[in-house]
Structure 1
């Protein structure tokens, strides 16, 4: 009986250890600002609160409890599976804490297809942008421009609306030698549902200067697409393009976009995104 009790105790403490490790890793990622690489920022506070509650429950489980003769004893197979699960969890936890989270790349963007999502109804509309201030237009992100380009291909609409955006380079299949997508991933809930959006940039022989997945800052204006191989009517023609560091927050988020659904608004309650997020 004593042997069964020992094995049962090990089984119990093993589960508590796994829960503790998972909770601590979640809190650590939130404290270091890395949790937003995995989930939408609006869920960070909720995740931390639930992690703290979970930690309290784990602590409560350390309180003495009555012993029962019928406490379950894991089978040999169950013990092996539990050991494998423990090793996998500890390995994953160590990896998350030691290695920086990898940002989704152009390979993922190709798999999920850039601009495959529909135009959001809560996004900036053509009517809103027509009356937007220069400062509002200057703050537009890749997501803003990608949404507008899917709403209208009227070149005249983009006159006097220069773009200043940051993103990573992804190939465009129509004319890969002279065109590329300036891309970002947009998160609704977590990185699993991240969707790539992009603005098409026309730059002849761009691979002679830049590389796929390289982060660049582009300033320029929109105009008719000079490529004969592409059916896309409008492209961003860069006046200046430089290599830049990956932003601290490489992803864009739907709620940030909907906050600026009416860029002409000047309410102090609407906070424009920092320049590195464009």
Structure 2
């Protein structure tokens, strides 16, 4: 029963596009195929078990009434929990709280070599991850001087300068959400908490400038941005 519920949940998530909230899109076909195989094996196993459970006279094996009731109650509880968790409760993406518990702009950014290759590409197509990688392996202030990117993500506060700086953040998923890593572009806007909260989704447009806070690890960040509140996109993760 649990296998069938799991299969139904997997198929429903795949059909609604929500399976990508748990795994990388490239693994969706494989996961659906494995779920269907698991369902077929479970059904076959159930049929064989029913046949084996009958005695030679065609009567089911006897079981103490109390044991049978406890087994039925336990099975019902497990099945109910599975239905609630997999089929009824809506799936939700990782939040700002999860981002705060993981290293921002660490393993989620591109490698130095990949970042260098970005310099040959059109910055109009860059994602939050691309800009975060460029800021991490900075090619120099001259590169950022005439760039005015538009990026979308959720807000996370800069732990070292929360009053003046926040990050436009996204999660990068390589395999599944267990390995998801946050990346973000630092934005300087004094008193931003008066208008926004951590976790709010926004679209920010602005140029780059030197950070006046000499103690910050962000030498360059987005300054004087135009910020528009937005809703969470259908595909909140970057891949």
**TM-score bin (small chain):** 0.7 to 0.9
- The 5 Å alignment of 1:64-83 reads 65-66=51-52
CA distance in 2, matches of 1:85, 1:238: 58
Q: Which runs of 5+ in 1 are unaligned?
A: 1-16, 254-278
CA distance in 2, matches of 1:40, 1:200: 26
- 1:47 and 2:31 equivalent? yes
1:138 shift after superposition? 1.3
Instruction: Name the structure 2 match of 1:59.
Output: 43
How many residue pairs end up in the alignment?
A: 233
Instruction: Name the structure 2 match of 1:131.
Output: 120
CA distance in 2, matches of 1:144, 1:78: 59
Q: Which runs of 5+ in 2 are unaligned?
A: none
SS in structure 2 opposite 1:125? helix
1:72 shift after superposition? 9.8
Instruction: Name the structure 1 match of 2:132.
Output: 146
1:88 shift after superposition? 3.4
What is the alpha-carbon root mean square deviation over aligned residues?
2.9
Q: Cα distance 1:118–1:249, how it changes in 2: closer, same or farther (>3 A)? A: closer
Q: Deviations over 1:178-210 (max 9, x none)?
A: 100111111111111111111111111111221
Instruction: Name the structure 1 match of 2:165.
Output: 179
CA distance in 2, matches of 1:140, 1:177: 27
TM normalised by structure 2 equals 0.84
Q: Cα distance 1:102–1:181, how it changes in 2: closer, same or farther (>3 A)? A: same
CA distance in 2, matches of 1:67, 1:85: 18
Kindly indicate whether the alpha-carbon contact (under 8 Å) linking 2:108 and 2:172 is maintained by their aligned counterparts in 1.
Answer: no
CA distance in 1, matches of 2:89, 2:25: 21
1:225 shift after superposition? 0.9
1:125 shift after superposition? 2.4
Instruction: Name the structure 2 match of 1:7.
Output: none
Kindly indicate whether the alpha-carbon contact (under 8 Å) linking 2:108 and 2:181 is maintained by their aligned counterparts in 1.
Answer: no
- 1:161 and 2:147 equivalent? yes
SS in structure 2 opposite 1:184? strand
Q: Cα distance 1:74–1:140, how it changes in 2: closer, same or farther (>3 A)? A: farther
CA distance in 2, matches of 1:30, 1:73: 42
Q: Deviations over 1:125-159 (max 9, x none)?
A: 22x333323xxx11211111111111116211222
